[in-house]
Structure 1
Amino acid sequence: MKITIGQKYDAEMILVFKGKGSEDHENILSRLSEKNLFKGEEGEVFSLVNMETGRSQIFLGIGEEDQADEEILRLAAFKGAKELSRLKISEASVKLTKLPNLCYRKSTKAFAEGLYHAEYRFDQYLSKKQEFSLAEVSFDLLPGKEEKVLPGLKEIEHLMDGIFLTRNLINEPAISLTPEVLAQAAKSELEPLGIEVEILDRAECEALGMKAFLAVAKGSTNEPRGIIMRYRGGNDEAPVGLVGKGVTFDTGGYSIKPGPSMITMNGDMGGSGAVIGAMKAIALNKLEKNVTAVVLATDNMISGDAFVPGDIIGSMAGKTIEIHTTDAEGRLTLADAVYYIIKKEGVKEVVDVATLTGACVVALGEFNTGAFTNNEELLGKIRAAAKEAGEPVWQLPLSKEYHKLIKGDRGDLKNSGGRWGGASTAAAFIEAFVEDTPWVHLDIAGTSDIAGARGYLPKGATGMPVKTLYYYVKGENKGGC
């Protein structure tokens, strides 16, 4: 689907506030309201199709005028695009007016984003493909606003490219997305955009002393891979660091998961998918920043070589770790990844992203990403980026009590602090390897992959938090409204 400017088509999407019609459609909207067919409630959709003239009007409710925000516009556009596709309409127009209390540039971007969300489908394994008929939407912009709006529309197009890449990687089954395939996907997607992608094999990871990561990889016949991605769009300043958990399938190891809990474990590399997608969006939009991203990719399997509960393993940082459960494997890979990116890549701050704990899902459900930090200023940047993105984050505690729970008896640390406070003890474990570097940990176990479609987010991989990472790297928005 493409977005154009200015063309007029017989099919039109019309934004309607609750209880307030436009002059052009006042009579129609009054009759629809009288018959309780359409009142302009948030998320409402009503279609009028004239078979003789070919004219179609798709009314989109956006609720109370003073409550409208970018998230409501995303959902309205998504529903409008889905309705047009259902009606087999390929071209449509929409008049985008200035909404109260909203930046025109941002609201136009939000509407475009909703349209793009509507066309996503993961259907390569279906014998009957899912059709999407809408091919073009033309924006009727306010006079004189093109100069500010057009760059934003191109930005959101590129950002959605990154989100769709993330979704595709996460939705791909483990049988076809091994650590090596994930590494090659990063290389093929990012190198043409000017990102340097270095792939580390097992021997190179061993030479670096990545003992925690390689302990997880011991049980698998699939070879582990380190994926180092370097984007240089700024001056000589130190890069910011992104780390993504890259467990391409998690059985739980010898602390084996129940069967039903394993069905979606191909998505346990959601953090790596988000980081790779964010790097694509960053490069496509040519952000003038330096960014390094690291993924240590493996799966967590059972074999005669696999690590087991009671083992004591090493780490790149030199700290020893008691294994209390092999199902707390992601934090082991992240320990080496964050230590590597700080010590070897020289990042000035680091954000790690991981589908890390069921405890975070218990606490926050599928609606908020859990956030932990050793630096409130850095977390403030993430909060601002998440608000811009429409991807809610919620800070969870990381006090000294949680660090006490992961103190080892026979080794320096243990990889599980027990049943209670599991999201916080997992974050405390990672924090032990970042030392004094400003750091934020995002636990996306609930938000990366959802059980059912919600709003404009599809069932399965959502693409979160690609937008948050992108806007964090981009920094303060000075585009104006």
Structure 2
Amino acid sequence: MNISFNRKSGVILRAVFEGESNGFDFDGKENNFLPIISSEEKTLLMGLGKKDKLTADKVKILFFNAYKELKKYKFDNVSVAKGDLLLCDDLVLAVYEGFLHSSYSFDKYKSEKEDFELKNLDFEYEGEKVNDRIEELTNVMKGVFLTRDLTNTAAMDLYPKTLVQEIKKEFDGLNIDVEVFGRKKIEQLGMKAYLSVSLGSDKEPQFIIMHYKGSDDEPIALVGKGVTYDSGGYSIKPAEGMATMHCDMAGSATVVGALKALALNGIKKNVYGVVAATENLINGSAYKTGDIIGSLSGKTIEVANTDAEGRLTLADALFYTADTIKPKFMIDMATLTGAMVVSLGWQYTGAITNNQELMDKVIASSKKAGEYVWQMPSDDFYKKYNESKFADIRNIGGRYAGGITAGMFLGEFVKDTKWVHLDIAGPAYLDNAMGYYGYGATGVMVKTIYQLVKDE
């Protein structure tokens, strides 16, 4: 998609507010469109809805839908007129982002591929000063789309070793080093919790350490859940619950996408990404409920539910990161609990922290990025839910406050490191289109993490 300013070529896309005089018999209601074609000019009118209801986030959604209308008419050369939309830098970026989201297509497994592309996008605006921000956004969205592609890929094609291959391919030519530990090294390190989850699969686990050295500053660490397929283990999921469990590695994909965005934009920060990749399947060697397993930290864990596996892999990944990398702070991202979806729905990411200052920065970054984070309570009394009669801790806290107790479990393995846990189980993968996201993976939190690291 080529971006230009004041060339006024191709179809004119003119946005108008509801109830405003526009010279045409057009109501201007949200997502209404009217093509006007003459021998001299092609114009597509689009409705913005009520003037006092317009926000930058709504602009993204409106132009997400406008892209689909352009596609319907095969208009691939478009000039966005000022119309009622008084363009400024932020609105130009919102329009562009809406178009980019709508241009995303995951057609890897389709015999007929997407054949429409918006080739030229022009703005009736003095936009030279916003060019750098457009380039930055383009690179961030490349990270978002990488996250979506990885998360949408079927488990038959994406498992620990092929995840490593994809990461190395995507990072080729970027300032990101990749180190990988196989089963033997993982055993030597003593990552017993992580290894326990991997026992049911014939796919070798891969502990992946990515390092973007944009500076010599004290490192920041991003840790992502990397369960490339989750059957639930012996606490097996129902069939309908397993159908999309290739998406259970969305946390790791978010880390990969964020690192790519940071590297493409040359952000001068020192950032590590850590992923404990495995499958959670069933065979004669698989871990079972009632097992008492070890961990890298030395803590013993009672396995009360084998479908609470992500927190076991993260326990070792977080402890390794805190103990070995010693970051100034770390953020973990995981499709961790259905309980968080029950609490917050599909739009919000739930958060747990041991440091309010860091949490405030994450929330501020999410608002800048146009994403939604909600801080959950993390009072010490929630720790009692995870108490075990036989081990140091249980891997599940029972029926109540499941999203909170899962986060509190992870907090037992971060040492004294400042930390925020982001449970992206709701917004990471959608069963139905919502806002400017279609069905499937969304790449949520890539923009927030990019903003957080950039501003740090």
Instruction: Write out per-residue CA displacement over residues 437-467 of structure 1, whole angstroms, 9 at most, x where no aligned residue.
Output: 1111110111000011112101000110111
Instruction: Determine whether 1:211 maps to 2:199.
Output: no
Conservation of the 8 A alpha-carbon contact between 1:69 and 1:107: no
Give 1:59's aligned amino acid: L
Conservation of the 8 A alpha-carbon contact between 2:16 and 2:84: no
Conservation of the 8 A alpha-carbon contact between 1:45 and 1:79: no
2:287 match: secondary structure:
coil
Deviation above 6 Å: which 4+ runs of structure 1?
97-100
Residue 199 of structure 1: how far off its partner (Å): 1.2
Structure-1 residue corresponding to 2:314: 334
Structure-2 residue corresponding to 1:13: 13
Instruction: Write out per-residue CA displacement over residues 176-217 of structure 1, whole angstroms, 9 at most, x where no aligned residue.
Output: 001111111111112421101111111111122111111100
- Equivalent position to 1:27, from 13, 23, 42: 23
Conservation of the 8 A alpha-carbon contact between 2:302 and 2:390: yes
Give 5+ residue unaligned stretches, structure 1: 33-38, 477-481
Give 2:54's aligned amino acid: A
Residue 17 of structure 1: how far off its partner (Å): 2.3
Instruction: Determine whether 1:288 maps to 2:268.
Output: yes
Residue 341 of structure 1: how far off its partner (Å): 1.1
Residue 51 of structure 1: how far off its partner (Å): 5.4
Structure-1 residue corresponding to 2:93: 109
Instruction: Determine whether 1:254 maps to 2:234.
Output: yes
Give 2:61's aligned amino acid: L
- Could you tell me how far apart the structure 2 residues matched to 1:244 and 1:84 are? 37
- Could you tell me how far apart the structure 2 residues matched to 1:63 and 1:281 are? 33
Conservation of the 8 A alpha-carbon contact between 1:89 and 1:133: no
Conservation of the 8 A alpha-carbon contact between 2:15 and 2:84: no
Give 1:76's aligned amino acid: L
Conservation of the 8 A alpha-carbon contact between 1:243 and 1:337: yes
Give 1:47's aligned amino acid: L
Instruction: Determine whether 1:49 maps to 2:36.
Output: yes
2:444 match: secondary structure:
coil
Give 1:466's aligned amino acid: V
Report sequence identity in percent. 45
Residue 130 of structure 1: how far off its partner (Å): 2.8
Q: Within 5 Å, which residues of 2 pair with 1:279-318?
A: 279-318=259-298
Residue 435 of structure 1: how far off its partner (Å): 2.3
- Could you tell me how far apart the structure 1 residues matched to 2:207 and 2:170 are? 16
1:344 match: secondary structure:
helix
Structure-2 residue corresponding to 1:479: none
1:192 match: secondary structure:
coil
Conservation of the 8 A alpha-carbon contact between 2:175 and 2:214: no
Conservation of the 8 A alpha-carbon contact between 1:405 and 1:425: yes
Conservation of the 8 A alpha-carbon contact between 2:386 and 2:394: yes
- Equivalent position to 2:124, from 119, 122, 140: 140
Q: Within 5 Å, which residues of 2 pair with 1:327-366?
A: 327-366=307-346
Conservation of the 8 A alpha-carbon contact between 1:45 and 1:80: no
Instruction: Write out per-residue CA displacement over residues 73-102 of structure 1, whole angstroms, 9 at most, x where no aligned residue.
Output: 1112212221111101110111358967x9
Q: Within 5 Å, which residues of 2 pair with 1:191-202?
A: 191-202=172-183
Structure-2 residue corresponding to 1:35: none
Residue 381 of structure 1: how far off its partner (Å): 0.9
- Could you tell me how far apart the structure 1 residues matched to 2:150 and 2:278 are? 15
- Equivalent position to 2:79, from 93, 100, 108: 93
Structure-1 residue corresponding to 2:136: 155
Give 2:173's aligned amino acid: P
Q: Taking structure 1 as the reference length, what is the TM-score of the superposition? A: 0.92
Instruction: Write out per-residue CA displacement over residues 145-186 of structure 1, whole angstroms, 9 at most, x where no aligned residue.
Output: 522x11110011111111111111011000000111111111
- Could you tell me how far apart the structure 1 residues matched to 2:317 and 2:282 are? 23
2:452 match: secondary structure:
helix
- Equivalent position to 1:396, from 367, 373, 376: 376
- Could you tell me how far apart the structure 2 residues matched to 1:18 and 1:194 are? 49
Q: How many residues align?
A: 456
- Could you tell me how far apart the structure 1 residues matched to 2:178 and 2:32 are? 45
Instruction: Write out per-residue CA displacement over residues 111-161 of structure 1, whole angstroms, 9 at most, x where no aligned residue.
Output: 11111111111112111223324221112223xx522x1111001111111
Instruction: Write out per-residue CA displacement over residues 391-449 of structure 1, whole angstroms, 9 at most, x where no aligned residue.
Output: 11111111112111112211101101011111011001000001221111110111000
1:231 match: secondary structure:
strand
- Could you tell me how far apart the structure 2 residues matched to 1:416 and 1:150 are? 49
Q: 1:304 to 1:426 in 2, by over 3 A?
A: same
Give 2:365's aligned amino acid: A
Give 2:74's aligned amino acid: K
- Could you tell me how far apart the structure 1 residues matched to 2:95 and 2:385 are? 46
Q: Taking structure 2 as the reference length, what is the TM-score of the superposition? A: 0.97
Instruction: Determine whether 1:271 maps to 2:259.
Output: no
- Equivalent position to 1:407, from 387, 405, 408: 387
* CA RMSD, 1 decimal: 1.6
Q: 1:242 to 1:96 in 2, by over 3 A?
A: farther
Conservation of the 8 A alpha-carbon contact between 1:58 and 1:80: no
- Could you tell me how far apart the structure 2 residues matched to 1:281 and 1:88 are? 31
- Could you tell me how far apart the structure 1 residues matched to 2:84 and 2:112 are? 41
Conservation of the 8 A alpha-carbon contact between 1:226 and 1:294: yes
Conservation of the 8 A alpha-carbon contact between 2:14 and 2:83: no
2:325 match: secondary structure:
coil
Give 5+ residue unaligned stretches, structure 2: none
Instruction: Determine whether 1:40 maps to 2:24.
Output: no
Give 2:334's aligned amino acid: A
